[in-house]
Amino acid sequence: MIKRLLPLLLLLLLSACARQAPLPDTPPRLDLPLQLHVQREQAGQTQDWLLVVQQEGPALRWSLMDPMGIPVARQLLSGKQWQNDGLLPPNPEARELFAALLFALTPAEQLPAHYKGADWQQNDQQRRLNENGSARWHVTYQHPLIFQLSTQPGLSYRVETLP
């Protein structure tokens, strides 16, 4: 029985790796550090988080905390690789959120250089990154640093900068 399950488990592991969130070829130039209020909404329930993005040498450090300051996720983005930062367990939703936020925060004039191979669209108030013919991420801007981000059906984030 174990011999039959092993190939299935290996296939699941490989498919999980293949679904990694798209990342830019090189990190865009952002005005760092950034402090963002992120409000997650799913099934009518909301959660508030504080996200701090800062430069750490050649890497970007992403620190997501709840309102009490307790870390929810911490990741370093170095090149096109995510690394856990600290002792928190891996958080795939946070990695997807961080990658989507990087796409949303990339200045419009930098998109062609940083997302060369990606299927994206941009107009004045919206931006989409498409995958397999449908939107993987959809961003609706109220202001460059105030926007709504949808990462999957029924899951969205309201993002705004903090002074």
67 in a structural domain: yes
Q: What backbone phi and psi angles, to 5 degrees, belong to 57?
A: 65, -130
Per residue in 49-62, pLDDT tens? 999 999 999 899 99
8 in a structural domain: no
Range of the domain at 62: 24-161
15 in a structural domain: no
How far is the C-alpha of 67 from the C-alpha of 5, rounded, in Å? 42
6 in a structural domain: no
Per residue in 68-84, pLDDT tens? 999 999 999 998 899 99
pTM score, two decimals?
Answer: 0.86
The total domain count for the chain is: 1
